[in-house]
Amino acid sequence: MNNLTFNIMSGNSQGLTNDALILSEALTEIYGESTYIRNFSGSASKLKNATLLMRLLVDRYLLRNRQITFHLEEIYQEVAPFSDENIFIPNQEWLRSGTLQAITPNIHIWCKTRYAVERLSHLTNNIHYVGFCSRDMYDGAIEKKPNSFIHIAGKSEQKGTQAILNIWQKNPQWPTVTILSRNPAHKAYQSANIDIIDKFVAEDELKRLMNSHQIHLCPSESEGFGHNIVEALSTGALLMVTDAPPMNELVPKNANYFIKVKSKSERYLSELFYVDEEDFSDKVKELSLSLAADQQRTSGNKLHFEQLKKEFIADIESQLELLK
């Protein structure tokens, strides 16, 4: 595509910042290093974003460059009218009424998961599955400690952290679980076999923690995509995942452990799934940690991550070709 500019609109959360980076890298891989990508970020100053908007207007009306704008999680109406094509990449669990009202037949909805397509297909016929990917967090120089558990929640309240705290407290004989959570309420659960890290963790330390732990616990209630799950795949870890969408569509069925759902509720256009703590506890006890099984599973998970990335880039390229 000649004379083309990509605009990426994102909010100020770390998850959306990562989404913008991953999308930007995919576009660069498809169209080359010379691809012009303009990033509007909610974490940037108003002056910076206003300057970017002025450049967009010059780019379109004076230079006559075609504008394709990606809207992450929300539709940014201050930019949409000046774009030739608007592509909305939603997170269904945060799809608020104001954003719903901004969806028109001309807006392309690209979904990260098949579950999102299922939940949002009633909104428009202009909806497509493209998948997504996450950062590759693998570091082969870091050795995994056998029978070690980690759970990464960050600031999210929908990662199923409470279930982990509950069952680990009931089983003080279990190995220590490392929990990255910045929720102050979780700090009260710290005990001999629960190690809670409640401060921001730098990238290098996060990568070390992710690669040094053999089992990643991901009992999420909902996910817009599931970066914590897919990043865990990239490290070649074993995963314990909620057996509900979109969480269970991201990982190989024969290489991981799936936790049954006991109940569910609704949030915006997503379901929230709450794991069965008894089944969760049983799954931890059933873990087979033989070296042969570990090597087989971790190899499959790493390959699955690479396949997700490959398919995501291919789907983006084919969808953009249709917009020519």
For the chain, give the secondary structure using H, E and C: CCCEEEEEEECCCHHHHHHHHHHHHHHHHHHCCCCEEEEEECCCCHHHHHHHHHHHHHHHHCCCCEEEEEEECCCCCCCHHHCCEEEEECCHHHCCHHHHHHCCCCEEEEECCHHHHHHHCCCCCCEEECCCCCCCCCCCCCCCEEEEEEEEEECCCCCCHHHHHHHHHCCCCCCCEEEEECCHHHHHHCECCEEEECCCCCHHHHHHHHHHEEEEEECCCCCCCCHHHHHHHHCCCEEEEECCCCHHHCCCCCCCEEECEEEEEEECCEEEEEECHHHHHHHHHHCCCCHHHHHHHHHHHHHHHHHHHHHHHHHHHHHHHHCC
Given a cut of 90, whether residue 210 has pLDDT beyond it is yes
> Does residue 316 lie in a domain region?
yes
Q: What's the whole-model pTM score?
A: 0.93
**165 and 301 belong to one structural domain:** yes
> Does residue 140 lie in a domain region?
no
**161 and 180 belong to one structural domain:** yes
**290 and 164 belong to one structural domain:** yes
Nearest partner of 238 among 229, 246, 247, judged by Cα: 229
Q: Average the pLDDT over each of 51-55, 162-166, 252-256, 293-297 and give the range with the smallest value.
A: 293-297
Q: What is the pLDDT of residue 291?
A: 47
CATH number for the domain spanning 48: value is 3.40.50
Q: Which domain holds residue 237?
A: 145-307
**203 and 300 belong to one structural domain:** yes
pLDDT band with cut points at 50, 70 and 90 for residue 324: confident
Q: What is the mean pLDDT of residues 77-92?
A: 96
CATH number for the domain spanning 248: value is 3.40.50.2000
**208 and 69 belong to one structural domain:** no
pLDDT digits (tens, 9 = 90+) for 178-199: 999 999 999 888 789 999 999 9
**236 and 316 belong to one structural domain:** no
- Burial of 239 (C-beta count, 10 Å sphere; 0-12/13-18/19+): buried
> Does residue 138 lie in a domain region?
no
Q: Average the pLDDT over each of 28-32, 92-96, 242-246, 293-297 and give the range with the smallest value.
A: 293-297
Q: How many domains does the chain divide into?
A: 2
Q: What is the pLDDT of residue 28?
A: 96
**38 and 168 belong to one structural domain:** no
**118 and 150 belong to one structural domain:** no
> Does residue 139 lie in a domain region?
no
> Does residue 77 lie in a domain region?
yes
**166 and 232 belong to one structural domain:** yes
**199 and 210 belong to one structural domain:** yes
**173 and 104 belong to one structural domain:** no
pLDDT digits (tens, 9 = 90+) for 35-80: 999 999 988 888 999 999 999 999 999 999 999 999 999 999 999 9
**36 and 54 belong to one structural domain:** yes
